[in-house]
Amino acid sequence: MKPAVIFDEIYLKHDLPTHPENALRLKYFLKSLPEFDIDLLKPKPVSYEILTAVHSENYIEDVRISCSENAPGFFDADTYYNIFTFDAAIMAAGAVEKAVELVKEEKYKKIFCAVRPPGHHATKDRAMGFCIFNNVAVGAVKALSLGFQKVFIVDFDAHHGNGTQEILQNIPSIFYFSTHQYPFYPGTGSPEENRENILNVPLNAGSGDYEYAQIYTELLPQKIEPFQPELILVSAGYDIHRDDPLTDLEVTDKGVEIIVNSIIKITNNLNIPVIFSLEGGYNLHALERCGRITFAALSS
């Protein structure tokens, strides 16, 4: 079965060229896509039913009105919006929702949602950390609504996905696993926050391929297999790369390859689908190489 990438031009219109989270990121990430035999699909807007299961109606309305009446502006010190941001954000969340539908219908087993804005810092009622709506949380809630019994989320972004953890932590059929630089933005993600369905693996600045290889080839399968998930969602943040300007991790191209291949291998062994959603990653050339590595793994 061929893999698929979900993308829409609207993701490039949410943009602030002087900001690290800009449209060029996605263009570079997708540069190598024509080298692969991967279906390119369009998203649809997220359903209101699922979006309101993840975010408060007041917050959704605040985003919509801000973008239509007060743009451009900032929701917090580092989360900008323009007149396209609401539309891009509902299409980003909608991409993951659609991906869940497609794997449920067994049309695909491996899908990459090449979306912006990213999602894992967005909480129930707050935009933060460049994120508007929590795309992966939308996917997890959608999956349960379609009858998936258990969903395992792997978040390898350099930052802790505080929003994903906060939104989903009381749902025992969803497991949230995160590796992240710590202490670091957004301040959460310590082992004290761990519970039955939350595993935070904080990593010191300077951690690199060796630490990541151990975690992703040994610890991760040990945690996934007994949980018996029917779907894996991945918050794919390439700001773990040593060339990233915002972080202090030392993961090389090889390390990224080990992480992504390990996730694919686990899903193959369990014979379950996997959906990736783009989170961070702010060095354009590293993003291009990470895209190629990821598309190769999805195609393998």
Give CA torsion, residues 214, 219, 221, 226, to 10 deg.
170
CB of 130 to Zn ion, least distance (A): 8
Query: Is the bond preceding 245 in cis, omega lying within 30 degrees of 0?
Result: no
Q: How far is the CB of 165 from Zn ion (least distance, A)?
A: 14
Nearest residue to Zn ion, scored by beta-carbon proximity: 280
Contacting range for Zn ion; rule: CB under 5 A; set: 13-21, 106-114, 232-240, 252-260: 232-240
Question: In one letter, which amino acid is 291?
Answer: G
Task: Determine the interface stretch with Zn ion among 55-63, 231-239, 261-269, 285-293 (rule: CB under 5 A).
Answer: 231-239
Residue 144 CB, nearest approach to Zn ion (Å): 26
Q: Contacts with Zn ion in 265-294 (CB under 5 A)?
A: 280
Q: Taking the complex as a whole, how short is the minimal distance between the CB of residue 119 and Zn ion, in angstroms? A: 11
d(CA 257, CA 135): 23
Kindly state the number of chain residues that form the binding site for Zn ion, as judged by CB under 5 A: 6
Among 8, 209, 211, 239, binds Zn ion (CB under 5 A): 239
Nearer to Zn ion, 119 or 273 (CB): 119
Residues ≥6 apart with Cβ < 8 Å to 184 = 158, 159, 160, 205, 247, 248
- If the CB atoms of residues 143 and 158 are measured against Zn ion, the closer one turns out to be 158
Asked if 166 and 129 touch (Cβ cutoff 8 Å), the reply is no
Is residue 237 within the footprint of Zn ion (CB under 5 A)? yes
Contact window for Zn ion (CB under 5 A) among 22-30, 104-112, 152-160, 185-193: 152-160
Is 241 designated active site? no
Q: Is 109 in the site for Zn ion (CB under 5 A)?
A: no
Q: How far is the CB of 185 from Zn ion (least distance, A)?
A: 8
Q: Examine residue 209 and tell whether it contacts Zn ion (CB under 5 A).
A: no
Task: Give the span between the Cα atoms of 78 and 128, in whole angstroms.
Answer: 7
Question: Residue 82, exposed/middle/buried by CB under 10 A (0-12, 13-18, 19+)?
Answer: middle
Question: Per rule CB under 5 A, is residue 244 in the interface with Zn ion?
Answer: no
Binding Zn ion by CB under 5 A: which of 157, 166, 193, 209?
157
**CB closer to Zn ion out of 98 and 242:** 242
CA 196 to chain centre: 22
Set 14, 121, 160, 241: catalytic member: 121
- Residue 199's φ and ψ, nearest 5 degrees, are -130, 105
CB of 166 to Zn ion, least distance (A): 16
By CB under 5 A, name the one of 55, 110, 121, 159 that touches Zn ion: 159
Select from 80-88, 142-150, 156-164, 189-197 the region that touches Zn ion (CB under 5 A): 156-164
Nearest to 102 by CA among 187, 3, 195: 3
Return the number of the residue (136 or 158) whose C-beta is nearest Zn ion. Answer: 158
Q: Which residues bind Zn ion (CB under 5 A)?
A: 157-159, 237, 239, 280
Which residues are tagged catalytic?
121
